[in-house]
Homo-oligomer: A and B are copies of this chain.
């Protein structure tokens, strides 16, 4: 979770069969690198949403994941009207065709909710217009998972420790050469 206004990640064009693992990785990356909410668009997929809910249950934090039936309507409203608090937010489309991320990140305002859009197979052309920023993590083909990770890592620099994820059952202790897991105990409130 970020400490500032909420950060949303919108995954467009999910295909249940072909994209199930990539989309799960995207959602887990969103959570681990500090986003607050994952919006899944394209085909509905309860498996992906359950994977994300289960990780949040076990490892802590308040991460939300939900299906978005009309993603372009949601995005347009977010960017132009209401990002959840009655005023427009900042919408950023990650695309290999966009401007260099290291030049864009310092220009972004941080006092507004943010929506980071990652494409699936075919991104509708309107997305380029709805978003205030089209940003490339380099201009080579690679992976939406890599793009999201590096963008969030540079947007929300933390210290050497990761973000805080309170309330989980499992706590991993960094180790030189072993797997070191603390079983924190099931949180009775949940």
Contacts and interface: CB of A to CB of B under 8 A. Distances in A.
A175 to B, nearest CB: 6
A178 B103 contact: no
Nearest to A51: B141
B139 A162 contact: yes
Interface in A83-124: 96-103
Given A100-B160, A102-B160, A145-B25, A32 B140 contact: yes
A2 interface: no
Interface in A1-30: 18-19, 21-22, 25-26, 28-29
Interface stretch (A41-49, A68-76, A146-154): A146-154
Interface string A33-70: 10000000000000000000001000100000000000
Interface residues of A, number: 54
Given A59-B141, A149-B149, 20 more contacts: A18-B21, A21-B22, A25-B142, A26-B143, A28-B140, A28-B146, A29-B143, A32-B138, A97-B180, A98-B174, A99-B174, A100-B161, A101-B160, A103-B160, A128-B178, A138-B162, A138-B163, A139-B174, A145-B149, A146-B149
26 contacts: A18-B21, A19-B21, A21-B22, A22-B22, A22-B25, A26-B143, A28-B142, A29-B145, A32-B138, A32-B141, A59-B141, A96-B172, A102-B160, A103-B160, A136-B172, A139-B162, A139-B174, A140-B162, A140-B172, A143-B149, A145-B149, A146-B146, A147-B149, A149-B149, A149-B150, A153-B153
